[in-house]
């Protein structure tokens, strides 16, 4: 959390001719979202793809699996409009709600001359699996319901 965006800016300074992409959670990016000011003022056109599930998802997953769904302080019910936030800093962006919209959004971001956010709305029920439970033996398995064919 919070490391990816500033790290991406540093990578872009080091490799200005290479595409640089930060894949961020909606919670993570909000810890450092003010760095869009740095990205714009220093002319660092990185792309930030926000996997926007409206939750601190990893913590929520633990509350779901190990605490009988007693969700506490994990819902990000009042997320800002990340595209408007980016635009407010002088960056650009696009919101993606369907997998079929993703390719064009990524191409726009990769070709952008200014920092660019792709606000990708994802299923809040999608967990990060497989995982090893704390102190347990064995693995909780799972399968992502999306496939590349849905592009």
Nearer residue to ligand TPP within complex by CB, 53 or 83: 53
User: What is the nearest approach in angstroms of Mg ion to the Cβ of residue 57?
Assistant: 4
d(CA 47, CA 112): 8
Contacts of 65 (CB under 8 A, 6+ apart): 127, 133, 140
Distance, CA of 48 to CA of 54 (rounded, Å): 17
Name the DSSP class of 140: B
Measured from the CB atom, the residue of 24 and 47 that comes closer to ligand TPP is 24
Considering only residues 103 to 122 of the shown chain, the ones binding Mg ion according to CB under 5 A are none
Q: Which of 4, 45, 57, 109 binds Mg ion (CB under 5 A)?
A: 57
Kindly state whether residue 25 participates in binding ligand TPP, applying the rule CB under 6 A. yes
- The order of strands in the sheet holding 92-96 is 21-25, 47-52, 116-121, 92-96
Identify residues 10-39 at the interface with Mg ion (CB under 5 A): 25-27
Nearest Cα neighbor of 11 from 65, 60, 48 is 48
Partner that binds at residue 120, options ligand TPP, Mg ion, none, CB closer than 5 to 8 Å by kind: none
Q: Per rule CB under 6 A, is residue 5 in the interface with ligand TPP?
A: no
CA atoms within 13 A on the CB side of 72: 5
The residues in 36-95 that bind ligand TPP, with binding defined as CB under 6 A, are 51, 53, 55-59
Residues forming contacts to Mg ion in the complex (CB under 5 A) are 25-27, 53, 57
Q: Could you list the residues that contact ligand TPP (CB under 6 A)? A: 1-2, 25-28, 51, 53, 55-59
């Amino acid at each position: 959390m919070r490391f990816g965006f500033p790290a991406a800016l540093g990578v872009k300074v080091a490799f200005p001719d290479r595409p640089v992409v930060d894949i961020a959670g909606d919670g993570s990016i909000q810890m450092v979202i003010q760095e869009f000011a740095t990205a714009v003022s220093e002319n660092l056109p990185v792309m930030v793809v926000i996997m926007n599930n409206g939750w601190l998802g990893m913590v929520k997953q633990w509350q779901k699996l190990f605490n009988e769904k007693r969700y506490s302080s994990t819902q990000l019910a009042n997320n800002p409009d990340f595209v408007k936030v980016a635009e407010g800093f002088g960056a650009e962006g696009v919101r993606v709600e369907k997998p079929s919209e993703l390719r064009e959004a990524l191409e726009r971001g990769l070709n952008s001359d200014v920092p660019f956010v792709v606000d990708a709305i994802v299923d809040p029920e999608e967990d990060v699996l497989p995982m090893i439970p704390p102190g347990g033996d064995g693995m909780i398995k799972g399968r992502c319901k999306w496939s590349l064919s849905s592009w």
